[in-house]
Copies of this chain bind each other. A is one copy, B any other.
Amino acid sequence: MRVLGVDPGLTRCGVGVVEGLAGRRAALVAVGVERSDPGAGIDDRLLTIADGLDRWLDAYLPDVVAIERVFAQHNVSTVMGTAQVAGLAMVAAARRGIPVALHTPSEVKAAVTGSGRAGKAQVQHMVAQILGLSEVPRPADAADALALAICHLWRPAGLMDRAELLPNTPAQRAWAAAEQAARRKG
Protein backbone atom coordinates (compact mmCIF):
# COMPACT_ATOMS: atom_id res chain seq x y z
CA MET A 1 0.00 0.00 0.00
CA ARG A 2 1.27 3.42 -0.96
CA VAL A 3 0.29 6.42 1.15
CA LEU A 4 0.84 10.07 0.27
CA GLY A 5 0.98 12.20 3.40
CA VAL A 6 0.20 15.92 3.26
CA ASP A 7 1.15 18.36 6.01
CA PRO A 8 -0.98 21.26 4.77
CA GLY A 9 0.45 24.76 4.71
CA LEU A 10 0.31 27.78 2.44
CA THR A 11 3.97 28.87 2.66
CA ARG A 12 5.31 25.31 2.94
CA CYS A 13 3.18 22.22 2.30
CA GLY A 14 4.98 19.00 3.22
CA VAL A 15 4.42 15.99 0.97
CA GLY A 16 5.74 12.49 1.59
CA VAL A 17 5.12 9.13 -0.04
CA VAL A 18 5.60 5.93 1.95
CA GLU A 19 5.03 2.34 0.96
CA GLY A 20 4.43 -0.65 3.21
CA LEU A 21 1.91 -2.90 4.88
CA ALA A 22 -0.02 -2.19 8.08
CA GLY A 23 2.27 -2.73 11.07
CA ARG A 24 5.27 -3.76 8.92
CA ARG A 25 8.39 -1.95 7.86
CA ALA A 26 7.62 1.19 5.87
CA ALA A 27 9.80 2.47 3.04
CA LEU A 28 10.37 5.99 1.77
CA VAL A 29 9.30 6.55 -1.82
CA ALA A 30 9.64 10.33 -2.11
CA VAL A 31 9.49 13.42 0.05
CA GLY A 32 9.45 17.15 -0.56
CA VAL A 33 7.79 20.47 0.03
CA GLU A 34 5.54 22.59 -2.15
CA ARG A 35 6.00 26.29 -1.51
CA SER A 36 4.19 29.47 -2.42
CA ASP A 37 5.46 33.05 -2.36
CA PRO A 38 4.16 34.86 0.76
CA GLY A 39 4.24 38.07 -1.29
CA ALA A 40 1.80 36.76 -3.91
CA GLY A 41 -2.01 36.98 -3.79
CA ILE A 42 -3.83 34.28 -1.84
CA ASP A 43 -5.53 33.00 -5.00
CA ASP A 44 -2.22 32.58 -6.84
CA ARG A 45 -0.64 30.99 -3.78
CA LEU A 46 -3.43 28.42 -3.46
CA LEU A 47 -3.19 27.65 -7.18
CA THR A 48 0.57 27.10 -6.90
CA ILE A 49 0.07 24.59 -4.08
CA ALA A 50 -2.88 22.92 -5.86
CA ASP A 51 -0.79 22.46 -9.02
CA GLY A 52 2.04 21.02 -6.92
CA LEU A 53 -0.26 18.52 -5.21
CA ASP A 54 -1.66 17.47 -8.59
CA ARG A 55 1.89 16.70 -9.76
CA TRP A 56 2.59 14.55 -6.68
CA LEU A 57 -0.63 12.58 -7.13
CA ASP A 58 -0.02 12.00 -10.82
CA ALA A 59 3.64 11.08 -10.31
CA TYR A 60 3.21 8.65 -7.39
CA LEU A 61 -0.36 7.33 -7.78
CA PRO A 62 -0.97 6.67 -4.07
CA ASP A 63 -3.66 4.29 -2.78
CA VAL A 64 -4.59 6.71 -0.01
CA VAL A 65 -3.96 10.36 0.78
CA ALA A 66 -3.44 11.05 4.50
CA ILE A 67 -3.90 14.68 5.52
CA GLU A 68 -3.48 16.38 8.86
CA ARG A 69 -6.84 17.21 10.37
CA VAL A 70 -6.97 20.98 10.88
CA PHE A 71 -8.83 22.35 13.88
CA ALA A 72 -10.35 25.82 14.04
CA GLN A 73 -8.65 26.38 17.39
CA HIS A 74 -5.15 26.20 15.88
CA ASN A 75 -2.94 29.24 15.24
CA VAL A 76 -5.48 31.79 14.07
CA SER A 77 -3.08 33.71 11.80
CA THR A 78 -2.34 30.67 9.61
CA VAL A 79 -5.33 28.37 10.14
CA MET A 80 -7.31 29.70 7.15
CA GLY A 81 -4.51 29.00 4.67
CA THR A 82 -3.81 25.64 6.29
CA ALA A 83 -7.47 24.64 6.11
CA GLN A 84 -7.69 25.78 2.50
CA VAL A 85 -4.64 23.76 1.46
CA ALA A 86 -6.07 20.71 3.26
CA GLY A 87 -9.26 21.26 1.26
CA LEU A 88 -7.33 21.43 -2.01
CA ALA A 89 -5.55 18.16 -1.16
CA MET A 90 -8.91 16.51 -0.44
CA VAL A 91 -10.40 17.68 -3.73
CA ALA A 92 -7.32 16.63 -5.70
CA ALA A 93 -7.60 13.13 -4.21
CA ALA A 94 -11.39 12.92 -4.62
CA ARG A 95 -11.09 14.00 -8.26
CA ARG A 96 -8.90 10.92 -8.86
CA GLY A 97 -11.11 8.59 -6.80
CA ILE A 98 -8.36 8.19 -4.18
CA PRO A 99 -9.64 7.75 -0.60
CA VAL A 100 -8.71 10.45 1.93
CA ALA A 101 -7.90 9.89 5.60
CA LEU A 102 -7.59 12.69 8.14
CA HIS A 103 -5.36 12.18 11.17
CA THR A 104 -4.93 14.48 14.14
CA PRO A 105 -1.45 15.56 15.28
CA SER A 106 -1.92 13.43 18.42
CA GLU A 107 -2.70 10.34 16.34
CA VAL A 108 0.40 10.94 14.25
CA LYS A 109 2.64 11.39 17.28
CA ALA A 110 1.22 8.29 18.93
CA ALA A 111 1.66 6.22 15.79
CA VAL A 112 5.34 7.00 15.29
CA THR A 113 6.56 7.50 18.88
CA GLY A 114 4.08 5.65 21.09
CA SER A 115 3.05 8.90 22.79
CA GLY A 116 0.36 11.32 21.64
CA ARG A 117 2.23 14.09 23.41
CA ALA A 118 5.69 13.54 21.89
CA GLY A 119 7.69 16.60 20.81
CA LYS A 120 8.36 17.58 17.20
CA ALA A 121 12.03 16.53 17.35
CA GLN A 122 11.10 13.09 18.70
CA VAL A 123 8.56 12.57 15.90
CA GLN A 124 11.11 13.56 13.27
CA HIS A 125 13.77 11.32 14.79
CA MET A 126 11.39 8.36 14.72
CA VAL A 127 10.38 9.06 11.12
CA ALA A 128 14.04 8.73 10.12
CA GLN A 129 14.41 5.56 12.24
CA ILE A 130 11.27 3.91 10.88
CA LEU A 131 12.18 4.62 7.26
CA GLY A 132 15.87 3.69 7.79
CA LEU A 133 17.12 7.14 6.81
CA SER A 134 20.52 8.38 7.96
CA GLU A 135 19.19 11.90 8.45
CA VAL A 136 15.93 13.54 9.45
CA PRO A 137 14.17 14.85 6.30
CA ARG A 138 14.19 18.67 6.15
CA PRO A 139 12.31 20.93 6.42
CA ALA A 140 10.10 19.82 9.31
CA ASP A 141 7.03 19.96 7.04
CA ALA A 142 8.52 17.20 4.88
CA ALA A 143 9.18 14.98 7.92
CA ASP A 144 5.67 15.69 9.22
CA ALA A 145 4.17 14.59 5.91
CA LEU A 146 6.06 11.29 6.16
CA ALA A 147 4.86 10.88 9.76
CA LEU A 148 1.28 11.30 8.51
CA ALA A 149 1.79 8.64 5.88
CA ILE A 150 3.35 6.25 8.41
CA CYS A 151 0.51 6.97 10.83
CA HIS A 152 -2.00 5.94 8.21
CA LEU A 153 -0.06 2.80 7.27
CA TRP A 154 0.27 1.75 10.89
CA ARG A 155 -3.18 2.69 12.11
CA PRO A 156 -4.66 -0.18 14.09
CA ALA A 157 -7.24 -1.49 11.65
CA GLY A 158 -9.20 -3.16 14.45
CA LEU A 159 -9.96 0.16 16.07
CA MET A 160 -11.40 1.56 12.92
CA ASP A 161 -13.20 -1.42 11.48
CA ARG A 162 -13.45 -4.29 13.99
CA ALA A 163 -14.17 -3.73 17.66
CA GLU A 164 -12.90 -7.19 18.70
CA LEU A 165 -9.35 -6.48 17.54
CA LEU A 166 -7.63 -4.80 20.47
CA PRO A 167 -4.46 -2.72 20.16
CA ASN A 168 -1.49 -4.80 21.27
CA THR A 169 1.60 -2.62 21.00
CA PRO A 170 2.33 0.49 23.10
CA ALA A 171 2.16 2.57 19.93
CA GLN A 172 -1.20 1.11 18.98
CA ARG A 173 -2.59 1.67 22.46
CA ALA A 174 -1.36 5.28 22.43
CA TRP A 175 -2.85 5.72 18.96
CA ALA A 176 -6.19 4.36 20.17
CA ALA A 177 -6.19 6.71 23.16
CA ALA A 178 -5.39 9.69 20.93
CA GLU A 179 -8.08 8.73 18.45
CA GLN A 180 -10.67 8.35 21.20
CA ALA A 181 -9.67 11.72 22.65
CA ALA A 182 -10.07 13.34 19.24
CA ARG A 183 -13.49 11.76 18.81
CA ARG A 184 -14.62 13.04 22.18
CA LYS A 185 -13.55 16.54 21.14
CA GLY A 186 -15.88 16.08 18.19
Residues of chain A touching chain B, judged by Cβ–Cβ distance below 8 Å, are 41-44, 46-47, 50, 70-73, 76, 79-80, 83-88, 90-91, 93-95, 99-100, 102
Determine whether the beta carbon of B94 is less than 8 Å from that of A44: yes
Copy tally for this chain in the complex stands at 2
Q: Smallest CB-CB separation from A82: which chain B residue?
A: B83
Complex contacts, A85 vs chain B, CB 8 Å:
87
Q: Smallest CB-CB separation from A101: which chain B residue?
A: B43
B41, B44, B80, B100: the one within 8 Å of A72 (CB): B80
Determine whether the beta carbon of A95 is less than 8 Å from that of B47: yes
Complex Cα distance, B46 from A42, in Å, reads 19
Complex contacts, A73 vs chain B, CB 8 Å:
76
B50, B71, B100, B102: the one within 8 Å of A91 (CB): B50
Complex Cα distance, B60 from A179, in Å, reads 45
Complex contacts, A47 vs chain B, CB 8 Å:
90-91, 94-95
Q: Report 18 cross-chain contacts, Cβ distance below 8 Å, ordered by A residue.
A: A42-B100, A42-B102, A43-B90, A43-B91, A43-B94, A46-B91, A47-B90, A47-B94, A47-B95, A50-B95, A70-B80, A72-B76, A73-B76, A79-B83, A83-B87, A87-B87, A88-B88, A88-B91
Complex Cα distance, B88 from A73, in Å, reads 22
Complex Cα distance, B100 from A43, in Å, reads 7
Determine whether the beta carbon of A46 is less than 8 Å from that of B76: no
Complex contacts, A41 vs chain B, CB 8 Å:
100
